[in-house]
Structure 1
Amino acid sequence: MKNSIRLPMLAIAAAMAYSCGNAERGDRDAASTQVIDSISDTTERAQAMTADIDLPGDEKTFINAAATGGLMEVEAGKAALTISKNESVRKFAEMMVRDHTKANAELATIASKLGIQLPTSLPKDKQAHLKGMQSLNDKKFDEQYMLMMIKDHSATVKLFTEGARLSDANVKSFASKTLPVLTAHYNEALKIGKTMNLNNSGNGDDPQGMSPAPGHTN
């Protein structure tokens, strides 16, 4: 993902450099907009469009990661509600869709005030991972989904713990308020994992070998 993000950013820099000199500001903006519009991945486009927003890098990183993770939780929850027949899994999925939809809306409001555009769809690697999960059925899907939820929420709790220490007041408040909800999600995922007799349920084990490669943010 790092390389895929770097390319659009370099393209934008090249477009800006090309139109510098005696060109008017409008010409530079038009060149940048043209390059940005050519980026099909909405996550990369969002990051490109917010590159020059006057906000500390840690805040931008948190907002983008939280937005992408929130989208994934909602989409995975919807998939679980379609596929799973396990009552505990379905109730958990309902909670994911409800709570993360609410959190996503709150984050979108904060991002809008800061002039930050959030991604509207999942990155390609996460789309592929979700599609692979949807090919599973019954117990295999339930195992993969719950282990994914354990892994994701373990990482997300850490992300929001750091977010609660950021300098921007709105971002800090959002992270602090949402952290207890995410912690509850994580604990519930562990509880369900134990009832399903999942091995190594505390470390995000991946029995179907489908989780994204290390280094991808959830």
Structure 2
Amino acid sequence: MQRLVLAAAAAALIGACASTPSGPSAEVIAEAAGQAAPAAADFVRMAGASDLYEIQSSQILLNGSEDEALRRFATMMIEHHTQTTATVTAAARQAGLTPPPPALDPAKAQMIRDLQTAQGAARDQLYRSQQIMAHREALTLHSSYADQGDTPQLKRAAASAVPIVAQHFNALAAMEGDGAASHTGH
């Protein structure tokens, strides 16, 4: 029953996002084409760290921002990244892996600390810039694994995350104006 609920939720979430990413996210996906994918266990760990960062950083933003558009975005991040974590975790289990609970890597833990100490408009701007970088990384991770990964169940989970993360990246680019997100990061 839980698998059916997760599958239905994932299908609804994926249906809400564009099936073929366009805009600034398409550039990131093109850059990721042909990149080597991490091993299955590393992909699960990295995807979990990415989602956990998105959730925790968005919770921090919601506790202090007065920017309604950013608050809506943060709420969407919590909802969508909770779902992508569930999708990747379920796929890992179907592949016979025992996924560890998501944990922040040192860089993302520092990003969280930085957000916790920032205040007001400075926190809002820091959140936006961190989100652009984090979504660029997540889009590259999921795109490369969907393309080059070695575990079919995880490849499907990565492919289902690509349009979701692309939607987020494009929304960030729109917030920054004129595709600024496509030039931030690498």
TM value normalised by structure 1:
0.61
* CA spacing shift, 1:154–1:101, aligned 2, 3 Å: same
Q: How does 1:1-218 map to 2 (within 5 A)?
A: 58-113=39-94, 114-165=96-147, 166-194=149-177, 201-204=181-184
Aligned Cα root-mean-square deviation (Å): 2.3
Q: Kindly tell me: are residues 95 and 57 of structure 1, through their superposed partners in 2, closer, same or farther at Cα, counting changes over 3 Å?
A: closer
Report the Cα distance in structure 2 between the residues aligned to 1:59 and 1:121, rounded to whole angstroms. 16
* Matches of 2:156 and 2:181, distance apart in 1: 31
Aligned to 1:53: none
Higher share in helix: 2
List runs of 5+ in structure 1 lacking aligned partners.
1-55, 206-213
Structure showing greater radius of gyration is 1
CA distance in 1, matches of 2:49, 2:93: 16
Deviations 1:21-65 (CA, angstroms, capped at 9, x unpaired): xxxxxxxxxxxxxxxxxxxxxxxxxxxxxxxxxxx9622222211
Residues 147 and 193 in structure 1, CA contact (< 8 A), matched pair in contact too: no
Give ranges in structure 2 of 5+ residues lacking alignment: 1-36
Q: CA distance change for structure 1 residues 58 and 120 in 2, over 3 Å: closer, same or farther?
A: closer
Contact residue 151 and residue 203 of structure 1 kept, 8 A: no
State how far apart, in whole Å, the 2-side matches of 1:93 and 1:154 are. 17
Q: What's the TM-score, normalizing by structure 2? A: 0.71
**How far has the Cα of 1:140 moved from its partner?**
0.4
Q: Following TM superposition, by how much is the alpha carbon of 1:118 offset from its aligned partner in structure 2, in angstroms?
A: 2.0
Deviations 1:47-92 (A, max 9, x none): xxxxxxxxx9622222211111111111111111112110111011
Give the total of aligned pairs.
148
Q: Which has the higher contact order (CA 8 A, sep 6+)?
A: 2
Q: Distance in 2 between matches of 1:60 and 1:121?
A: 13
Aligned residues with identical type, % of pairs: 21
C-alpha change, 1:193 and 1:59, in structure 2 (3 Å) is same
Q: Distance in 1 between matches of 2:103 and 2:183?
A: 27
Which residue of 2 is the match for residue 15 of structure 1? Answer: none
- Structure-2 separation of matches of 1:71 and 1:122: 7
